Structure 1
Amino acid sequence: MRDTRSEVDEALSAAGARRGPDGALRFSTAAKEAEAMEREPVAAPLEDDRVIHVAGGDAHRFLQAQLPTDVPPPGSDRALLAACCTVTGRVVAVFELAARSSGYLLRLPASAARGLIERLARYRLRSRVEFLDRGWHAFGVAGPGAAGALEAVLGAVPDPGRCAETEEEAVVARSFGGGARFTLFVPSGRFRRICDTLLGHLQPVGPETFRLAELREGLPWIHEETAGQFVPQMLGLERMGAVSFSKGCYPGQEVVARTQHLGTVKRVLVRAALDAGGEVPRPGTTLFSGDGRPAGHVLYAARAAAGIEALAVVARDLAGGPWRAGEPDGPSLRLTGRPRPDPGEG
């Protein structure tokens, strides 16, 4: 049984969700939601993401041959960050992967999902594997006390790098980072019940607020606008366990391995901040240096309690900022940090 769009909207509306003038789903103002996430556990319906179910007898062998990630076998209850590259080693998708007995659940931004399915299907040939982009929903849980709240509400809290199934047949995954951030994969037909339970016990927030938690961890989500622009090392994926240098061949392996051997990349991942009041930069927005040179691109951004925060990839020699968004005299961004050391920094 599938949940219809109207049933999903009805469940979210009953929980207090409203859409703002920009179309974003929220339960309060962006600032209040961000403040709530800093003091208590929050839960967000991830309607801006898509869940792809990869199933079939050849699913493991197929994914292992197509991804730079060392894909765990089905049924291993592993959860990790993974990626997919072009033959030139450029990343077209970054996704969270949960290995279940029925196959693999992949969560990623909706704008990148179609491109990922089309790319994987191109190499399917006679492999017994299918890519199902309907039938699952996703929620995010984050904030202080998130693990305890999840255990009290759903009875399942996996260790980092693992996933676990709840009594409602939902899957809780904890794929990356040591922080209290979880993804809940919910099968169709269970959305209303899980929604009522989760949002009834935890502080509900919109998808953008959960994305803020991921941004602060440095998760380099790729959207349609930024697909095919960066090698994994520019995004720090090799330091997140999303790239293996000991597995067999996959598309783009030669470029990825050569980049690692060189030990440095020309572009690096940075966190940046904008003053409050302006528009949130869209994925792919060009950043300019102080003297007007193109410096890089925004991966994604989100409103915080004070201002706007962004994750971007910029030229190494311009990584100190500040930058301008969209045009040489656009809104100013300042460097707030780097999610992790990048190649070439020792």
Structure 2
Amino acid sequence: GGPEFTLLAVRGNGAGELLGRALGIALGKSGNSGVVHDDAIITRLPWAEAEAFLIILPASRVEALSAKLGTAGARSGAAEDWRLWAIQAGVGMISRATTEKIIPQELNLEVLGGINFKKGCYPGQEIVARSHYLGKLKNQTYRVAASAPLQAGEEIFCTSMGAQSIGIVINAAQDPLGGFAALAVLRAANAGESLMAGAPGGTPLSLRELPYTLPLDIASEE
């Protein structure tokens, strides 16, 4: 088989300059900009509060790049920290538990600049374009908090819909300040109700603010 690939993430003020110095290249200043360099793909994520970069590179090169980043002044962090920061930024990451369960707009990617309707063809394009042009979006990503652990793929329920699921947990992480944080795709019409994860009457959820305006809120303002 070919080379195994690994994800490496860099976040913080000045992250782009530090990463660019370690790689010997210039990196994009805007969210969703990307560059390919020596078998690595580097993407600047659309995070509002801090510069954040995701790097996909051959596993054999991770140690060398990590050492260069350390020399340039970066501190190594835990993957759990990254997961929590991504949730706070409102930028969802699809995993095996959630693949093919939702469309890009439901992850708020249209607001985050992660979809381009003018170029390219891809599986599912017709559904994505239809949701965009006909304005049929009913679900969007919310940030939620719970007192018990949450799992990606876990279904979410609300008081008025009984046993019918109205959403799904996308990403979850422990919050060092207490409890657990998650991003969840929810039916907007029911998001203001009492929400539970796992089962009707399951783990209670409460909504938290995101650092951007939700897509369906934007649609109602127009």
TM bucket (normalised to shorter chain) is 0.7 to 0.9
Counterpart in the other structure of 2:6: 137
Q: Of the candidates 301, 324, 329, which is equivalent to residue 196 of structure 2? A: 324
Counterpart in the other structure of 2:44: 174
Alignment deviations for residues 103-133 of structure 1 (CA, whole Å, 9 cap, x no partner): xxxxxxxxxxxxxxxxxxxxxxxxxxxxx86
C-alpha displacement at 1:270, in angstroms?
0.6
C-alpha displacement at 1:216, in angstroms?
2.3
Letter in 2 for 1:345: S
Counterpart in the other structure of 1:283: 152
Change (3 A) 1:180 1:242: closer
C-alpha displacement at 1:252, in angstroms?
2.8
Q: Is 1:229 aligned with 2:76?
A: no
Contact 1:273/1:336 (<8 A) preserved = yes
Counterpart in the other structure of 2:220: 345
Counterpart in the other structure of 2:117: 245
Once the two structures are superposed, the pairs formed by residues 122-161 of structure 1 within 5 Å of their partners are 134-151=3-20, 153-159=22-28, 160=30, 161=33
Counterpart in the other structure of 2:133: 261
Aligned residues: 210
Q: For residues 269 and 286 of structure 1, what CA distance do their matches in structure 2 show?
A: 14
Please identify the structure whose Cα radius of gyration is greater. 1
C-alpha displacement at 1:155, in angstroms?
4.5
SS of the residue 2:171 aligns to:
strand
Contact 1:157/1:164 (<8 A) preserved = no
Percent identity among equivalent residues? 30
RCO greater where, 1 or 2, for CA within 8 Å and sep 6 or more?
1
Structure 1 stretches of 4+ moved >6 Å = none
Counterpart in the other structure of 1:121: none
SS of the residue 1:297 aligns to:
strand
Q: For residues 235 and 152 of structure 1, what CA distance do their matches in structure 2 show?
A: 32
Q: For residues 120 and 74 of structure 2, what CA distance do their matches in structure 1 show?
A: 43
Change (3 A) 1:156 1:283: same
Change (3 A) 1:330 1:336: same
Contact 2:3/2:58 (<8 A) preserved = no
Gaps of 5+ in 2: none
SS of the residue 1:305 aligns to:
coil
TM-score calculated relative to the size of structure 1: 0.53
Bigger mean CA deviation after superposition, 152-161 or 256-265: 152-161
Contact 1:288/1:295 (<8 A) preserved = yes
Alpha carbon RMSD of aligned pairs, Å? 2.9
TM-score calculated relative to the size of structure 2: 0.78
Contact 2:93/2:170 (<8 A) preserved = yes
C-alpha displacement at 1:271, in angstroms?
0.7
